[in-house]
Amino acid sequence: MINMKNFLSKWVELKTEFGLKAIIDSLMAGVVYGMLIFVPVYIIFAEIAMIFMYQLYTIIVLIVFSAMLNVYVINKLAAKALKLKKPDATSDIKMVMIYHACFWMSIVLIIGLLFIFVIIPILWV
Amino acid sequence: MNELTEKAWPIVRLLILPYLFLMFLLIYPIEYYLDAPGGLTEVESLIEIDYNVEKETYGTISTTYIVALNRPSFFQFMVGYFSPYTTIDALTGSYADYTNEEISQISYWDKYTSVDASIIVAFLAASNENSEIVIDYVEKIFVFGKATYLSNYDLISFGDEFISLNGDNGIVSSLDEVAANTALNDTYDFTFRNSKGENYIVSLTKDAETSKFGITFRTAFIVNRETTFPEYSVSNSNIGGPSGGLLQTLAIYNMLISEDITHGLKIAGTGTIQYDGSVGYIGGVKQKIATAYLNKVDVFFIPNLDDNYAYDNYQEALKACEELNIDPTGWLVPVATFQDALDYLEGLGD
């Protein structure tokens, strides 16, 4: 169960210790390196989906899982970047990034479900 | 970011070349085409007719589509090579000169005219039993092919309608008169109508080597919706090609009559439809058989016009079944005409 109060206090702690600029910079690093890793994965899935169209829904599920893993990797790398900025940091970077990853994973899951149940059935006429 | 880059740099440096090589395999297109199994599309999701709306249909009638990839990447080529369901071959003929976008334009135009052909054949068949049903259509001439030497190549699109030609003896709007009216000069003004309904004039010059304009026309009958009853609507389709003709015709016919010809079955198939109700050959038979098998259809109609012809679709389908270890008994039905398919379905009700 996500405790919002706990998350907010840890976020404030992190922001005070690093500053917003450093946090955004770390997240950017996470996004850049995370995407570098996952762009070929997405292309591979998209190209496989074109050939194995009869397995489209299975492949969409795999893409959604990959995107969730991508979000996790981005946050993991962002946490790593923050630790590298300040190795003796006392705030709970890991916990804040887990909460952050969970939020974005939920968004990815909702988008994936929208594709499976709404967008693909509409488009595939 | 700099800290992470500094930390990851030894690994990044090591992986740059393999990474670029992988991206090359994934992105670089090669001059081949790849056919792979696709899926089924229920005709009801494409065409809706404002008639017999309370009638219950217990089965489904679906067209079968395959995936036709023009210029796949190296990676897709390799994946397709190892799949038993795919066919890969070099891109040849006029298609080799066309861009993927142009091939799509041709394919969508084929779909557009095949839907009208299905409407015409189904409405005509249904009007024999029900005089309330009226179909009206006109013949139109469309751009179907463009040679590389065609002047003003980019101004003309596939599927544009030929309206007239300012020829040697005046304005000409019949295809039969084009050759006789373009003998004296090298350049003539042609009038076309684009997909938005706008007319435009373009000057076409004969190629010096071939003495031809480099444009191919094809005629098709297009339904006049204002004088046709009942009204119908066609959704925009993401699937091109004419091979859904026969099944579209069956489904439209089923929407127009009071009985349900599906008998609760999952009916699919392939084959173009001609205006006289005969069925025409299609490509990608192996992939369509695989698609039907993977989707567990009850009946699959396939064109069968000449058993002695090596590329007869039914003969190809039997070979594909053998190759893919699929038993064709009971579900693979050869047909030569729309009436054959109807007779088969009517026979199921006995």
Hey, where are the domains in chain B? 39-67+113-130+230-348, 140-220
Strand B187-193 vs strand B60-70: parallel, antiparallel, or unpaired?
unpaired
Which is more confident, A4 or B199?
B199
Q: How far is CA A22 from CA A18, A79, B8, B95, in A?
A: 6, 11, 18, 54
% of chain A exceeding 70 in pLDDT: 97
H-type alpha helices, chain A: 4-18, 20-51, 56-85, 93-114, 120-123
Provide mean pLDDT across the span B4-12. Answer: 87
Per-residue model confidence (pLDDT) at position B310:
82
pLDDT level of residue B96 (50, 70, 90 thresholds) = confident
The rounded distance, in Å, linking the Cα atoms of A33 and A25 is: 12
B-chain CB neighbours of A77 within 8 Å are 4
B-chain CB neighbours of A28 within 8 Å are 1
For tokens 């016919």, name the residue: B253
pLDDT level of residue B230 (50, 70, 90 thresholds) = very high
Architecture of domain B140-220: Roll (2.30)
The rounded distance, in Å, linking the Cα atoms of B155 and B338 is: 39
A-chain residue closest to B82, CA distance = A51
% of chain B exceeding 70 in pLDDT: 99
Q: What is the CATH number of domain B39-67+113-130+230-348?
A: 3.30.230.10
Q: Of the candidates B98, B94, B95, B77, which has an alpha carbon nearest to the alpha carbon of residue B86?
A: B77
Q: How far is CA B187 from CA B132, B143, B169, in A?
A: 50, 18, 14
pLDDT level of residue A124 (50, 70, 90 thresholds) = low
| Contact flag B39-A124 (C-beta cutoff 8 Å) | yes
Provide mean pLDDT across the span B91-104. Answer: 82
A-chain residue closest to B22, CA distance = A40
A-chain CB neighbours of B294 within 8 Å are 54
What does pLDDT average to over chain B? 93
pLDDT level of residue A2 (50, 70, 90 thresholds) = low
| Contact flag A53-B45 (C-beta cutoff 8 Å) | no
For B75, which of A26, A47, A56 is closest by C-beta distance?
A47
Each residue's pLDDT tens digit, B59-72: 999 999 998 898 99
Each residue's pLDDT tens digit, A37-81: 999 999 999 999 989 888 889 999 999 999 999 999 999 999 999
What does pLDDT average to over chain A? 91
Residues of B engaging A, defined by a Cβ cutoff of 8 Å = 1, 3-8, 19, 22-23, 26-27, 34, 36-39, 41, 45-46, 67, 69, 72-73, 75-76, 79-80, 83, 86, 235-239, 290-291, 294-295
- Predicted TM-score (pTM) of the model is 0.80
Instruction: Tokens for A97, please give them.
Output: 């990034």
| Contact flag B4-A43 (C-beta cutoff 8 Å) | no
Amino acid symbol at B314: Y
Q: Of the candidates B63, B3, B229, which has an alpha carbon nearest to the alpha carbon of residue A81?
A: B3
Per-residue model confidence (pLDDT) at position B68:
87
Q: Of the candidates B223, B239, B241, B240, which has an alpha carbon nearest to the alpha carbon of residue B231?
A: B223
For B83, which of A32, A51, A56 is closest by C-beta distance?
A51
pLDDT > 60? residue A95: yes
| Contact flag B23-A40 (C-beta cutoff 8 Å) | yes
Residues of A engaging B, defined by a Cβ cutoff of 8 Å = 25-26, 28-30, 32-33, 36, 40, 43-44, 47-48, 50-54, 56, 77, 80-81, 84-85, 123-125
CB B345 within 8 A of CB B262: yes
* End-to-end Cα distance, chain A: 41
For B37, which of A25, A54, A123 is closest by C-beta distance?
A54
CB A58 within 8 A of CB B40: no
For B79, which of A32, A40, A51 is closest by C-beta distance?
A51
The rounded distance, in Å, linking the Cα atoms of A116 and A95 is: 31
Per-residue model confidence (pLDDT) at position B6:
85
Quote the minimal CA–CA distance from B237 to chain A in Å.
Answer: 5
CB B286 within 8 A of CB B316: yes
Per-residue model confidence (pLDDT) at position A125:
56
- Length, in residues, of chain A: 125
Provide mean pLDDT across the span A28-42. Answer: 95
pLDDT level of residue A1 (50, 70, 90 thresholds) = low
Peptide bond preceding B230 in cis form (omega within 30 of 0): yes
pLDDT > 90? residue B313: yes
Q: How far is CA B236 from CA B60, B63, B198, B312, in A?
A: 20, 15, 20, 31
| Contact flag A124-B41 (C-beta cutoff 8 Å) | yes
Provide mean pLDDT across the span B83-99. Answer: 84
Per-residue model confidence (pLDDT) at position B304:
96
Which is more confident, B7 or B95?
B7
Provide mean pLDDT across the span B8-36. Answer: 93
Provide mean pLDDT across the span B22-37. Answer: 94
pLDDT > 60? residue A97: yes
Q: In terms of C-beta density within 10 A (0-12 exposed, 13-18 middle, 19 or more buried), how is residue B198 classed? A: exposed
3-state DSSP helix/strand/coil percent for chain B, to nearest 5? Answer: 35, 30, 35
Each residue's pLDDT tens digit, B252-311: 999 999 999 999 999 999 999 999 999 999 999 999 999 999 899 999 999 999 988 888
Per-residue model confidence (pLDDT) at position B350:
61
**B140 has which bridge partners?**
B220
